[in-house]
Amino acid sequence: MTLARRVISADADEIFSVLASVDASFVAMGQLTASIANEVKQPLAAAAMYGKASLNWLARNTPEIEEAKTCAECSLKQIDRAVQIIERIHQLVKKTSPEKQRLDVNETIVEVIELVHSEILKNGVDVRTELADCPEC
């Protein structure tokens, strides 16, 4: 094999190796994008559902203002959740150190119950909570 053919063969092998690496990166990027989209879609879908429910409460013959207000507040909470997800992803991409925050365990438990609310109803599960009344938690 001539020197030129060996150089061409080595270059081709290197090119194929780089292309395989790029292909794997694109696959990983696609999977990450799908995961991010799913994480953001959940609270936005919940916000839309609460918004529609709020409008339904207001469209009744006798508008239920308090129910509509509760739905609007829940919608805003879900939008805040989506914003927090995006902010955490932004921090990850910028490679900044994560911001340490206190975790409100009671709030986390309530959020998880809200997330699985449709499954709770579908399966006829009765959920009872007894949360600590602790300002330091």
In the numeric block, which tokens belong to residue 112? 């998880």
pLDDT for 55-102, tens place per residue?
999 999 999 999 999 999 999 999 998 998 888 888 777 776 766 777
Domain ranges of the chain: 3-101, 102-137
pLDDT for 52-63, tens place per residue?
999 999 999 999
* Listed residue (133, 42, 125, 28) closest to 84, CA to CA: 42
- Domain 3-101, what architecture? Orthogonal Bundle (1.10)
In the numeric block, which tokens belong to residue 98? 């994560």
In the numeric block, which tokens belong to residue 19? 């292309």
pTM: 0.56
Give CA–CA dist 119/92, Å, rounded. 31
Give CA–CA dist 22/16, Å, rounded. 10
| Burial of 119 from C-beta contacts in 10 A (0-12 / 13-18 / 19+) | exposed
